[in-house]
């Protein structure tokens, strides 16, 4: 292969980097297939075409494998030698061994020498096959030493690369906790490409001089290298270039441990801002020191303080003279009737069940040992200043945060279609609630998210009415159940320009995974908080703000357009970053059910919140927390730090594969239409103009642009499919077709959509099964239509028309009744007063709307006011809250719903509403 062939290969030839691992695996398998055919082929013309195809695949793979330790550059030189000598039978044999090693991951456990051709090598092939069969069995996952790869950035020759790799290989010892291999790259760009395409890289050693440009023209980096030029970088000193590279690696993959080897003034380098380097080495050839430093850094992330302590405790012989007969399994091991519980769960869970907080364990309510350390590690992993484990779900986590921050009569701005735990949290805290309306997607019976214009307009109304000081918190859901993601940084920045000390609570119940992918991470609460704090502390921001303020002061402050129609900037001398996020760790990362976390990035936490936070934490946290949940949170954090990048990458890949098939398969398109970016985000909120992340010609190359610029984006791992053309509603499709027929579990539906979510546990096999099922169902609907009689066809067409066109408009929040509004000039309501007023049944009555009685009262001029939460499933959020005036639009929506589950509504009685007498003086009630 010629060098110029490499340099002319564009990144689009490799495919969008989100799918690079699938491309890598598929290309190796295709190469193996082509070589197998070639070795058996007699036709010369076909052989020539195959040889050309093999050349192309080898060229493509060499680019990818340049950034991986296995196969090594030396291995690839061996492959090219065999190919150029036309030794296809031997090349076939070597490639088969290589593919088997990649699939079985045997290279993680032992050195795979591809130059071996003897009987011993054949035995190793058989061993690889057995290891491949064992993969996935629980007993096979914990025995081997964890494997990672070390990235070395240095402009080395091939011979020098071999020497460095061999030097590190020679450092290995059987007693090492980890085993690693070495990847070497020659340039600044190559280093960034390597960490994006190779998830095995866990540590990086930046050495000496290296150029900026890669020999490959790989455009995947254009979004990450904006503002950088080759000429500018070439004038940087060695230290400056290394520090800049370190900073960019940290932005893309903050978990990677970084080390610097410098030949310059090491003391001067150490005095610079080198916060992302674990350690600096000066002209080091002492590989022993580097080896042990690297292993120690990896071990620091690999530790699981509480899980390790719990395992150690379970091995201790103890006598239990306290609570929990099930501790040590004593109540079931001696049972004549409950022994099958041990058979099902195994003994370890019972050995680890205890109420003890001593003996190496800890107290969740007042941690001092391994739980405290585990929470500190969680804060590091998720980019928080502090993190707290919650063992009874994010519903409780939300209530803890609200109670810690909100006093009675504080005003909270909250999206109306948020999780019901927030509404109940408002009741408990006594907040005065100002509901914000998300933009509606009436065609799909779902809501999007709250536009920034709406938020700013509401804040401005409080500013104008002299009540801005009472506004304490903005509470939003990011991302929503349907996958709508905010531009978190921009929301915070512009809101802080109006109220500099506003507290943000981001409900990221479905977004815990996002911190481990460079595209998703900037739209997370913790990343936005840290980024804005750093931005506002910089001199460059002060200069930018001064210029903006000079122009802003020329405008009319009484004109709404001054505030609403341009981007606002907060005063760096007044702004305080106060951000909280709640994660349902168990939903999107590894944790037992109900395992959640609270993450805090609040500059005023120590001074203003710490005491009330711990009181709220103790209010809502059990004195008997489940240690297994705590341990699983600890392990889940470790896994996210060690392989979160890889797992989330795979999650996105599987979703993109599913979307691609649904976009392009003719029969699937007929009945199952995937909602694109433009379907779920109106044009006004898509500054990039990107309508779909996927293009049939260029592939998946637009996602980064949209995520960098747009007000709202769609998480591609949430695949919402419109099923109106099937004539089957979402709830029926979910239960009767997917679950009952094929055992496929989903949760979220609307009247004419279903939502499929991929997660870090979704495999390509799972996607293949889902596609197979959808094709079978599409054929079933096709046959049903073909075989139907004329009357039956009319029924089907009527059902399809109803699901696609007869959709009730989604109702906005009406208003709180005046009895619950503390100020007539602003919309907030005292939801707590309304909620507890309903406890006295004399204050309430039932009115049915199916027989027109409720409507008759409204036509007579009465404000009919809900006395309870009314929550239909789907969509799963309150359409009525206590104290809210019932509107015609809300009734029309409830009447049009074809769901059977509506919390707060009793069909035989109707809606519970306040009597007119109760509303005269609700405080007295």
Q: Which of 239, 296, 233, 244 is nearest to 270 (CA)?
A: 239
Strand partners, 433: 412, 829
Largest CA distance in the chain: 97
Residue with tokens 């063992």: 391
pLDDT for position 231: 67
pLDDT of residue 137: 52
Give the Cα separation of 677 and 168 in Å (integer): 47
Structure tokens at 662: 């649904």
Contact between residue 670 and residue 778 where contact means Cβ atoms under 8 Å apart: yes
pLDDT value at 140 more than 70: no
892: three-class secondary structure by DSSP: helix
Instruction: Phi first, then psi: give them for residue 97, nearest 5 degrees.
Output: -65, -40
Q: Nearest-5° angle of CA 25, CA 28, CA 29?
A: 85
Give, as one character, the DSSP assignment of residue 654: H
Residues 6+ apart with CB under 8 A from 735: none
Please tell me the least confidently modeled range out of 29-38, 791-800, 887-896: 887-896
Quick check: 731 and 740 in contact, CB under 8 A? no
Over 80: is that where the pLDDT of 591 sits?
A: yes
pLDDT band of 7, cuts 50, 70, 90: very low
CA-CA distance, 80 to 326, in Å (whole number)?
Answer: 63
State the pLDDT at residue 911.
95
The per-residue pLDDT for 696 is 73
Q: Where are the beta strands (DSSP E) in 584-654?
A: 596-602
pLDDT band at residue 179 using 50, 70 and 90 as cut-offs: very high
Tokens 């996935």 locate to 136
Sheet holding 673-674, edge to edge: 673-674, 718-722, 753-757
Q: Are 222 and 196 in contact (CB under 8 A)?
A: no
pTM over 0.85: yes
Helices (H), 499-557: 525-536, 539-552
Confidence of residue 134 (pLDDT cuts 50, 70, 90): low
Checking if the pLDDT of 143 tops 80, the result is: no
**pLDDT score at 227:** 56
Closest CA to 532 of 569, 478, 480: 569
Q: Do 294 and 167 touch, CB atoms closer than 8 A? A: no
d(C-alpha 634, C-alpha 866), whole Å:
43
Q: Residue 382 — φ and ψ, nearest 5°?
A: -100, 5
Q: Measured between alpha carbons, how far is residue 315 from residues 310, 353, 626 in Å? A: 9, 12, 19
CA distances from 3 to 67, 220, 915 (A): 17, 21, 84
Give all domains of the chain, ordered by start, each with its CATH number: 1-138 (no CATH), 145-302 (3.40.50.2300), 319-347 (no CATH), 370-638 (3.40.640.10), 643-805 (3.90.1150), 818-914 (3.90.100.10)
Answer whether 504's CB lies under 8 Å from 579's CB.
Answer: yes
Is the pLDDT higher at 43 or at 421?
Answer: 421
Contact 711, 487 (CB under 8 A): yes
Residue from 224, 10, 148 nearest 646 by CA: 148
- Mean of the pLDDT values across residues 119-123? 55
Measured distance CA(321)–CA(310) in Å, rounded: 19
SS3 call for 262: strand
Q: Using an 8 Å Cβ cutoff, are 636 and 591 in contact? A: yes
Minimum mean pLDDT among 107-116, 446-455, 733-742, 753-762: which range? 107-116
Q: What tokens does 534 get?
A: 């750093």
Quote the CA–CA distance of 860 and 429 in Å, as a whole number: 36
E-strand ranges in 710-814 read 712-714, 718-722, 753-757
**How does pLDDT run across 259-269, given as a tens digit for each residue?**
999 876 655 55
Report, as an integer, the average pLDDT of 462-488.
97
Kindly tell me if the per-residue pLDDT of 136 is higher than 90. no
> pLDDT at position 295, please?
97
Place of tokens 């230290």: 239
Give the pLDDT of residue 897: 78
Residue 803 has pLDDT above 90, yes or no: yes
**Residue 847 has which token pair?**
């009115």
Cα–Cα distance between 99 and 32 in angstroms, integer?
A: 8
198: which 2 tokens? Answer: 């190779």
Mean pLDDT, residues 63-70: 94
Rg (CA), the chain: 30
**DSSP category for residue 522:** G
Q: Running DSSP on this structure, what letter comes out for residue 383?
A: T
505 forms beta bridges with 475, 580
**Distance of alpha carbon 11 from alpha carbon 190, whole angstroms:** 13
Burial 872-897 (b: 16+ CB within 10 A, else e): bebbbbbbbbbbbbbbeebbebbeeb
582 and 398 Cβ atoms separated by less than 8 Å: yes
Q: Estimate the crossing angle of helix 158-169 against helix 73-84, to 10 degrees.
A: 130
479 prior amide bond cis, ω within 30: yes
Query: Contact at 8 Å (CB) between 497 and 460?
Result: no
User: In this prediction, what percent of the chain has a pLDDT beyond 70?
Assistant: 91
Residue 219 pLDDT greater than 70, yes or no: no
> pLDDT, tens digit, for every residue of 503-545?
999 999 999 999 999 999 999 999 999 999 999 999 999 999 9
Q: For the chain, how many residues are written? A: 925
Residue 119 has pLDDT above 90, yes or no: no
The strand ranges marked E within 808-897 are 829-830, 844-847, 871-873
Q: Where are the alpha helices (DSSP H) in 438-508?
A: 452-464, 488-498
Average pLDDT, integer, range 210-224:
73
In whole angstroms, give the CA distance from residue 38 to residue 692.
Answer: 40
Average pLDDT over residues 398-416: 97
Q: Is the pLDDT of residue 15 over 60?
A: no
What was the pLDDT predicted at 1? Answer: 40
pLDDT of residue 222: 61
Lowest mean pLDDT among 219-223, 306-310, 775-779: 219-223
> Of the ranges 114-118, 308-312, 669-673, which one carries the lowest mean pLDDT score?
114-118
Between residues 240 and 71, the one the model is more confident about? 71
pLDDT for the residue numbered 8? 32
Question: Exposed, middle or buried, 815 (CB in 10 Å: 0-12/13-18/19+)?
Answer: middle
Look at residue 358 in the predicted model and tell me its pLDDT.
77
* Residue 5 pLDDT grade (very low, low, confident, very high; cuts 50, 70, 90): very low
Lowest-confidence region among 349-358, 560-569, 880-889 = 349-358
| Tens digits of residue pLDDT in 617-653 | 999 999 999 999 999 999 999 999 999 999 999 999 9
Q: Which residue has the higher pLDDT, 673 or 237?
A: 673
Q: Region of 366 please: left (phi>0), alpha (psi -120 to 50) or beta.
A: beta
The overall average pLDDT reported for the chain is: 90
| 295: β partners | none
The pLDDT, as a whole number, for residue 229 is 61
Better pLDDT: 682 or 320: 682
Sheet containing 844-847: order of strands:
844-847, 910-914, 905-906
How many other β-carbons are positioned within 10 Å of the β-carbon of residue 776? 12
Question: What's the pLDDT at 265?
Answer: 63
Q: Which of 211-220, 288-297, 510-519 has the lowest mean pLDDT?
A: 211-220
At residue 110, the pLDDT reads 85
Which of the four pLDDT bands, split at 50, 70 and 90, describes residue 10? very low
824 contacts: CB under 8 Å, gap ≥ 6: 818
Question: Is residue 516 a contact partner of residue 384, using CB atoms and an 8 Å limit?
Answer: no
What pLDDT shows up at residue 225? 64
Residues 6+ apart with CB under 8 A from 130: none
């Amino acid at each position: 292969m010629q060098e110029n062939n490499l340099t002319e290969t564009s990144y689009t030839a490799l495919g969008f980097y989100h799918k690079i691992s699938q491309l890598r695996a598929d290309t190796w398998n295709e190469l193996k297939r082509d070589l197998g055919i070639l070795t058996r082929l007699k036709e010369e013309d076909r052989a020539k075409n195959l040889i050309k195809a093999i050349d192309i695949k080898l060229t493509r793979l060499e680019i990818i494998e340049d950034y991986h330790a296995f196969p090594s550059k030396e291995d690839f030189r061996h492959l090219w030698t065999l190919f150029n000598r036309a030794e296809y039978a031997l090349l076939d044999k070597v490639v088969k061994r290589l593919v088997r090693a990649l699939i079985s991951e045997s290279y993680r456990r032992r050195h795979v020498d591809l130059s071996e051709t003897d009987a011993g090598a054949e035995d190793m092939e058989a061993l690889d096959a057995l290891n491949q069969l064992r993969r996935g069995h629980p007993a096979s996952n914990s025995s081997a030493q964890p494997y990672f790869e070390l990235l070395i950035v240095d402009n080395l020759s091939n011979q020098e690369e071999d020497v460095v790799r061999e030097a590190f290989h020679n450092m290995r010892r059987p007693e090492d906790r980890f085993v690693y291999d070495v990847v070497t790259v020659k340039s600044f760009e190559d280093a960034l490409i390597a960490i994006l395409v190779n998830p095995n890289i866990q540590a990086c050693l930046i050495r000496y001089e290296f150029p900026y440009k890669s020999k490959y023209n790989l455009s995947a980096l254009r979004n990450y290298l904006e503002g950088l030029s080759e000429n500018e970088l070439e004038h940087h000193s060695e230290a400056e270039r290394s520090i800049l590279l370190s900073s960019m690696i940290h932005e893309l993959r903050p978990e990677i441990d970084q080390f610097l080897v410098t030949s310059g003034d090491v003391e001067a380098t150490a005095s610079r801002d080198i916060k992302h380097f674990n350690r600096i080495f000066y002209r080091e050839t002492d590989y022993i020191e580097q080896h042990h430093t690297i292993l120690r850094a990896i071990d620091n992330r690999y530790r699981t303080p509480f899980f390790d302590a719990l395992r150690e405790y379970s091995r201790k012989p103890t006598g239990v003279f306290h609570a929990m007969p099930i501790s040590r399994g004593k109540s079931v091991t001696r049972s004549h009737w409950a022994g099958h519980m041990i058979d099902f769960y195994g003994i370890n869970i019972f050995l680890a069940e205890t109420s003890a907080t001593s003996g190496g364990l800890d107290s969740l309510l007042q941690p001092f040992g391994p739980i405290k350390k585990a929470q500190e590690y969680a804060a590091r992993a998720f980019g928080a200043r502090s993190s707290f484990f919650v063992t009874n779900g994010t519903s409780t986590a939300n209530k803890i945060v609200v109670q810690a921050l909100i006093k009675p009569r504080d005003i909270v701005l909250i999206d109306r279609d948020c999780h019901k735990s927030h509404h109940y949290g408002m009741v408990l805290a006594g907040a005065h609630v100002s509901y914000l309306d998300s933009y509606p997607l009436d065609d799909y019976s779902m809501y999007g998210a709250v536009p920034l214009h709406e938020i700013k307009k509401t804040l401005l109304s409080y500013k104008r009415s002299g009540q801005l000081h009472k506004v304490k918190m903005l509470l939003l859901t990011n991302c929503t159940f349907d996958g709508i993601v905010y531009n978190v940084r921009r929301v915070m920045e512009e809101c802080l320009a109006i109220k500099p000390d506003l507290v943000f609570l981001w409900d990221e119940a479905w977004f815990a995974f996002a911190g481990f992918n460079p595209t998703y991470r900037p739209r997370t609460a913790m990343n936005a908080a840290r980024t804005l704090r750093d931005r506002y502390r910089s001199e460059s921001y002060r200069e930018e703000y001064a210029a903006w303020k000079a122009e802003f002061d020329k405008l009319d402050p009484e004109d709404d357009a001054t505030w609403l129609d341009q981007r606002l900037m907060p005063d760096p001398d007044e702004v305080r970053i106060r951000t909280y996020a709640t994660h349902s760790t168990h939903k999107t990362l590894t944790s037992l059910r109900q395992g959640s976390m609270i993450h805090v990035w609040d500059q005023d936490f120590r001074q203003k919140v710490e005491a009330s936070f711990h009181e709220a934490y103790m209010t809502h946290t059990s004195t008997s927390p489940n240690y297994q949940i705590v341990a699983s949170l600890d392990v889940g954090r470790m896994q996210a730090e060690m392989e979160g990048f890889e797992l989330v990458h795979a999650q996105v890949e599987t979703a993109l594969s599913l979307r691609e098939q649904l976009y392009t398969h003719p029969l699937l398109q007929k009945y199952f239409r995937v909602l694109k970016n433009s379907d779920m985000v109106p044009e006004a909120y898509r500054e990039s103009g990107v309508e779909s992340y996927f293009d049939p010609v260029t592939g998946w190359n637009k996602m980064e642009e949209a995520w960098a610029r747009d007000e709202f984006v769609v998480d591609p791992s949430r695949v919402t499919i419109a099923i109106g053309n099937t004539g089957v509603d979402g709830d029926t499709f979910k239960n009767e077709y997917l679950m009952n027929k094929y055992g496929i579990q989903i949760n979220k539906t609307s009247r004419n959509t279903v939502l499929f979510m991929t997660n870090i546990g979704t495999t390509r096999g799972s996607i293949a099964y889902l596609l197979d099922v959808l094709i079978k169902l599409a054929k079933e609907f096709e046959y049903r239509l073909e075989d139907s009689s004329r009357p039956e066809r009319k029924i089907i067409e009527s059902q399809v028309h109803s699901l696609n066109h007869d959709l009730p408009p989604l109702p906005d929040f009406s208003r709180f009744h005046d009895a619950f509004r503390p100020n007539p000039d602003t919309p907030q309501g005292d939801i707590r007063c309304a909620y507890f007023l309903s406890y006295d049944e004399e204050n309430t009555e039932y009115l049915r709307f199916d027989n027109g009685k409720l409507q008759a009262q409204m036509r007579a001029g009465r404000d009919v006011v809900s006395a309870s939460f009314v929550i239909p499933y789907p969509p799963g959020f309150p359409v009525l809250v206590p104290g809210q005036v019932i509107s015609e639009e809300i009734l029309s929506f409830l009447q049009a719903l074809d769901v059977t589950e509506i919390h707060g509504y009793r069909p035989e009685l109707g809606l519970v509403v306040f009597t007119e007498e109760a509303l005269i003086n609700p405080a007295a009630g």
